[in-house]
Structure 1
Amino acid sequence: MRMANLAGRAHLVAGDRSVDVARASGGRFPADPMAVLDRWAEVVAWSRDVDVAAGAPWDPAELGAPSPRPRQVFAVASNYRDRPLVLPTPADLPVTFTKFPACVVGPYADVPLPTDTVDWEVELVVVIGRAAHRVPAAAAWDVVAGVTAGQDFSERTLQLGGPAKQFSLGKSFPAFGPTGPVLVTPDELADRDDLGLSCRVNGETVQDARTRQLIFPVAELVARLSGVCALLPGDLIFTGTPGGMGMTMTPPRYLRVGDEVVSHIEGIGGLRNRCTAPDGVTGKLS
């Protein structure tokens, strides 16, 4: 099953056709994608009898974030075997921070650049489908609604430049968390643990890897995070990014106004984000 947020309403999509969940269910299910995620198991069961191919055409310009108002956003650092480690990876728990939920936007949102040291990080994003606490790894995929693509835009001066690292703040400026284009249930994927992901900046490929290179794969992340925190429907887990970030280049390369960042994950689809001038006053970076 593939679910899209179209103009704030949950839709099942297949190719160029879509079905509005609330209307097709006769009001049994709500229109709000967040409320749909709260009843995810019911919606998935109902969807098996829906002929999405007979639905109406849909407009990609209406796409919003599949989980537009997550209560919790977890993000993982240094989780790919092919990249230089920003922080050492412990054996027991992944290096975890948060992107504050206000930064979550849809797949084609413009991204205002607050400084000249903003970097890119393509990531597989896990969306939780039911409340879960202390889930063993063997059962972890059972609490996952699906996966989507994400960009963990990062302001490196604030994140890494001071005496104390500010991972969460440096990654939470407006529009720093685009996700989409759709939420894909794991059964739709040929191998849910081995997906190709890539990032291009102005047409140049800067990141290209596969999720089988994750140090903590999806099931381990869900298990270990839920071992500490209660996970809630609609929560997001940004699973980490592979090598190819701008800050690791010689000399470092960062995004400029007018740049276009295209992120893609096999079996899910892509994001396209244009970098723009700041759209408001930002705090002083130290």
Structure 2
Amino acid sequence: MRYATLRIDNTLTAARIEGDRAVLVDAASAVDAYLRRDHLTDTGEVDARTAHYARVSPTPAHILCIGLNYRSHIEQLGRPTPAYPTFFAKFPSTLTGPRDAITLPRVSDRVDGEAELAVIVGRRLRRADTKEARDAIAGYSVANDMSLRDWQHRTTEALQGKVFDRSTPLGPLLVTSDELDDARDLNVTFTVDGVEWQRGNTGDLLFKPAELVAYCSTFLTLEPGDVILTGTPGKTSGAAKSLTPGCQLITAIEGLGAAINSTVADPLPDTRPLWQERT
């Protein structure tokens, strides 16, 4: 199945996507529709091609992100292969819709994007093995882990460069595992104004989705709607140094559609000199 969270008249509602049809159902989000999939009632229909897609999981309890998880990317960086997954976290306030504009903060001179396969958890899970974890995956989606590189590398912890407001598109679809063969072999791309910045394939993932879900469940009780970003492939030769206002970003994964976002200038001032004076 293919579910989406749509924004209609400033209200979120779920839809079942059937080709060009978005069949509205009596659920609040794509995750809610998945959880109630055997008890849904159709309530209307809109054109899936022109619908306003919102983030598929609007308010996850947890957003966990994996670094260094594509073998080719690890080799490109000249880093040793990790023995365990490398984690950082995001907050629900970082999420935005797959068609929404992304404001580039004036406080950063180095904003980058990262195409990622997102895993959406479908039920509460604690201390699961890999089989239980695979069965608990609601489905997969597209994400762009936008990053302020200059902030990310200020310290050894990446958090401050990863959590600026409304910076992580999630969607447009939640596609169930049975339609994607557990996301084993999907092409992943990220383009900026038509120039390819990234290309990879989920077959190159070091830690697979079910392994990551099981691993996370050993130290954290996962909840329905939780999001795990599985890492990003390396950069192509066409990748530039920083995104600027006025760019069109297309983050696409085979079988999952594409997040298409424009970048806009920040209306807030650059407060870095003030910050530096205070320190």
TM-score (normalised: structure 2)? 0.87
Give the C-alpha shift of residue 62 in structure 1: 1.4
CA distance in 1 between partners of 2:264 and 2:174 (Å): 27
Give the C-alpha shift of residue 227 in structure 1: 1.0
Matches within 5 A, 1:159-170: 159-160=152-153, 162=154, 164-170=155-161
1:77 correspondence with 2:93: no
Which of the residues 180, 184, 187 maps onto 1:196? Answer: 187
Q: CA, structure 1 residues 178+283, in 2 after alignment: closer, same or farther (shift >3 Å)?
A: farther
In structure 2, what is the equivalent of residue 6 of structure 1? 6
1:125 correspondence with 2:118: yes
Q: Which runs of 5+ in 2 are unaligned?
A: none
Q: CA, structure 1 residues 180+35, in 2 after alignment: closer, same or farther (shift >3 Å)?
A: closer
In structure 2, what is the equivalent of residue 90 of structure 1? 82
CA distance in 1 between partners of 2:169 and 2:78 (Å): 22
C-alpha deviations, 1:49-94, integer Å up to 9, x for none?
A: x899x95434534110010111110000011011144975531x30
Query: Matched residue pairs, number?
Result: 266
Q: CA, structure 1 residues 147+170, in 2 after alignment: closer, same or farther (shift >3 Å)?
A: same
Matches within 5 A, 1:143-182: 143-160=136-153, 162=154, 164-182=155-173
Paired residue type of 2:64: F
Q: CA, structure 1 residues 86+281, in 2 after alignment: closer, same or farther (shift >3 Å)?
A: farther
Give the secondary structure class of the aligned counterpart of 1:107. coil
Give the secondary structure class of the aligned counterpart of 2:60. coil
How large is the RMSD of aligned CA atoms in angstroms? 2.5
Whether the 8 Å contact between 1:34 and 1:234 is mirrored in structure 2 is: no
CA distance in 1 between partners of 2:270 and 2:219 (Å): 33
Q: Which runs of 5+ in 1 are unaligned?
A: 23-30
Whether the 8 Å contact between 1:129 and 1:232 is mirrored in structure 2 is: yes
In structure 1, what is the equivalent of residue 243 of structure 2? 255
CA distance in 1 between partners of 2:146 and 2:59 (Å): 18
CA distance in 1 between partners of 2:118 and 2:182 (Å): 15
CA distance in 2 between partners of 1:147 and 1:180 (Å): 9
Paired residue type of 1:2: R
Paired residue type of 1:20: L
In structure 1, what is the equivalent of residue 204 of structure 2? 213
Whether the 8 Å contact between 1:126 and 1:148 is mirrored in structure 2 is: yes
TM-score (normalised: structure 1)? 0.85
Whether the 8 Å contact between 2:122 and 2:225 is mirrored in structure 1 is: yes
